[in-house]
Structure 1
Amino acid sequence: MWNPPAQKTSHAAASPHLTSPCHITNTTMLSRLVQRRLTASLRNCKTPSSPSASGRSIQRRWITPAPKPGDGPLMSRRADRELPEISQVRFRWGRTLPIFLAIVSVCSISIFNYQKTSSPIVSSTLYALRTNARARAILGDDIYFKHQIPWIRGQMNQMQGKINIYFTVKGTKGWATMRFSSHRPSPRSLFETTEWSLTTADGQWVDLLDGGDPFRGLLGDDGLAAIEEDDLHVTRGYRQQGALNK
């Protein structure tokens, strides 16, 4: 005769440890503990042993990349930012610097030329041309610079006592190139004109110093002697006044 309850009871009595809840709980906790310890040991093997390497990894984590050409404006800059590559740093003025130097050179030359044009030496030579009979016979009246913006070529150094200039002039009859050369033998002497001439358009050279040096007349040796004599009287008077005060 079949008896199901009895068979079930006998099976449970034969293996009571398989259905025990305490045994299942202990096994699960043990497996989790072993898994955690294995994971911790693997992490310790992967971490660097030296403190410098760990600090380097922490610092590298906080470094921000350098800005690129297409990025927007930087509102703030961090101290631990990454430095740009040397190959990316370029000289931006490489193309515009030669243009800037050329403009500065042209402006400097123009300023020096204007200084020569407005000097009293050039004005004196123009006045001497207007009052010279041979120059008026060649150029005519209204003698002035040939071009609207004159270009004074040559050397003009009054401090060293060397003047050698030439420029083009014109009048009602024609134009020519005037050359004026003068030097000063000593610091306390007057300038001596060595050349004052005209070279016409057809190549004819005309010496304008045949009738004497008009520029020495403009300066005046007598005037220089009078100035020295006045200085001498002032010095003597000052010395006499000092002697009387004693």
Structure 2
Amino acid sequence: MNLTRPLIRKTILRPILHRTLIAAPGPNTGPLLTRRADRELPNPNPGRKWLYTFPIFVVAVGAGMLGIFNYQKSSSSVVHSTLYALRTSPRAREILGDEIYFAQQIPWISGEMNQLHGRIDISFWVKGNKQQAKMRFRSIRPDRMSYFRTEEWSLEKEDGTVVQLLESDSDPFRKD
């Protein structure tokens, strides 16, 4: 009795209807050139790898926001006006020297600049030919229908002494 003959006849006469499943493409396997209907579906729960990159994303967005807000302050008319007033003030030129400008290449403007609500309180480092100092400018608007009133405009030298610039007679901010 020959047992192999019925097995050969079944496999030859009847085609193979079952194909093997092909694994789904992985993240680094390259482009998918052919699509097959019998391929394995991707994993719907890929894991929590995004949790590792989320803090980096938050730090990058935060640093970008700080940079944008600082750029907005540094390019405002208030900062440009105070720098112009420093350049034209005899007392500031006596302390700092000529060619007064920001002390750093990218200046950091500290404080609040809220013109809508009438509060300006900023400070930043400036330098001249002689030395550098921290300039502080504070101005308020008591009510909506009044003008800004300058309360402080000073230079703090590196040795810690503070020179008030509002005391001079040629002050460009004095409206009293």
The alignment's TM-score, normalised by the length of structure 2, stands at 0.74
Q: 1:77-116 residue pairs with structure 2 within 5 A?
A: 89-116=46-73
Q: CA deviation at 1:173?
A: 0.6
Q: Is the 8 A contact 2:136 2:155 kept in 1?
A: yes
**Aligned pair count?**
155
Q: Is the 8 A contact 1:146 1:170 kept in 2?
A: yes
Q: CA deviation at 1:199?
A: 0.4
Q: CA deviation at 1:187?
A: 1.1
Distance in 2 between residues matched to 1:68 and 1:111, nearest whole Å: 41
Q: CA deviation at 1:186?
A: 1.0
Q: Is the 8 A contact 2:24 2:42 kept in 1?
A: no
- Could you tell me the percent identity over the aligned residues? 52
214, 217, 237: which is aligned to 2:172? Answer: 214
Could you tell me which amino acid in structure 2 is paired with residue 109 of structure 1? L
Gaps of 5+ in 2: 1-20
Kindly indicate whether structure 1 or structure 2 has the higher relative contact order, using CA contacts under 8 Å at least 6 residues apart: 2
Give the number of the structure whose residues are more often helix, by fraction.
1
Distance in 1 between residues matched to 2:33 and 2:149, nearest whole Å: 70
Compare 68-77 and 154-163 and name the one that shifted more: 68-77
Compare 129-138 and 206-215 and name the one that shifted more: 206-215
Q: CA deviation at 1:147?
A: 0.7
1:138 and 2:95 correspond: yes
Return closer, same or farther for 1:115/1:68 CA change in 2, 3 Å cut-off.
closer
Q: CA deviation at 1:130?
A: 1.1
Q: CA deviation at 1:134?
A: 1.3
Give the number of the structure whose residues are more often strand, by fraction.
2
- Greater gyration radius: 1
**What is the DSSP-based 3-state SS (H/G/I as helix, E as strand, rest coil) of the residue aligned with 1:178?**
strand
Q: Is the 8 A contact 1:66 1:84 kept in 2?
A: no
Q: CA deviation at 1:96?
A: 1.7
Distance in 1 between residues matched to 2:43 and 2:80, nearest whole Å: 62
Specify the alignment match of 2:116 in structure 1. 159
**What is the DSSP-based 3-state SS (H/G/I as helix, E as strand, rest coil) of the residue aligned with 1:167?**
strand
Q: CA deviation at 1:74?
A: 9.7
Q: 1:3-82 residue pairs with structure 2 within 5 A?
A: 67=24
Gaps of 5+ in 1: 1-63, 222-246
Q: Is the 8 A contact 1:143 1:169 kept in 2?
A: yes
156, 170, 189: which is aligned to 2:127? Answer: 170
Distance in 1 between residues matched to 2:94 and 2:148, nearest whole Å: 27
Offset from partner CA, 1:65-122 (integer Å, 9 cap, x none): 98596999696587xx889586xx3123122222122111111111111111110000
**What is the DSSP-based 3-state SS (H/G/I as helix, E as strand, rest coil) of the residue aligned with 1:90?**
coil
Specify the alignment match of 1:181 in structure 2. 138
Q: Is the 8 A contact 1:191 1:216 kept in 2?
A: no
CA RMSD of aligned residues (A): 3.0
